Structure 1
Amino acid sequence: MYVRTVLKRFNILIYTGNQLDDIVLMDLELDDLFESKTVEDDEFRNSKLALRRAYRELGGNEE
């Protein structure tokens, strides 16, 4: 997954054994990276879209 590659650049590895939980945690980590101006706008946007798509495909309920 593209997002895992982005997070790995910052030594952030997420694996809980549950894909939906992984997506939620990756989303939170991306938010933190963006707030600290560590990740670029385009990369942030693309990552968020990829996570949203993966969440939807796994049957998660978007709020």
Structure 2
Amino acid sequence: MQNIHDIRKLLMQFGTLVYTKDRLGDLELMRMEINELYEWKLIDGQQFQQAVLLLKKEMREYEKGTDVNE
């Protein structure tokens, strides 16, 4: 996984589409969904770690006001 688009594709594999028009809200919902997928053992530890790190980075960048491209 290299960007938020990859996380969206992963979530779509499990029937999850996150879009609320609130960027920070979307990122938080994606983080919650990734946590649940990991708890249910539907994704492995590496996928979980990569996704969480990307989401945290994106949240930091968004909060700074320098929105990173997907």
TM-score (norm 2): 0.81
Partner of 2:36: 32
Name which of 42, 52, 55 aligns with 2:59: 55
1:18 and 2:22 aligned? yes
Structure 1 residue 38 displacement after superposition: 0.5
* Contiguous gaps of at least 5 residues in structure 2: 65-70
Aligned-residue RMSD, C-alpha: 1.1
| Identity among equivalent pairs (%) | 32
Partners of 1:17 and 1:49 lie apart in 2 by 22
- Name structure 1 gaps, 5 residues minimum: none
**CA offsets per residue over residues 6-45 of structure 1, 9 Å max, x none?**
1011110000001100000000011110000001111111
TM-score, structure 1 normalization? 0.89
Q: How many residues align?
A: 60
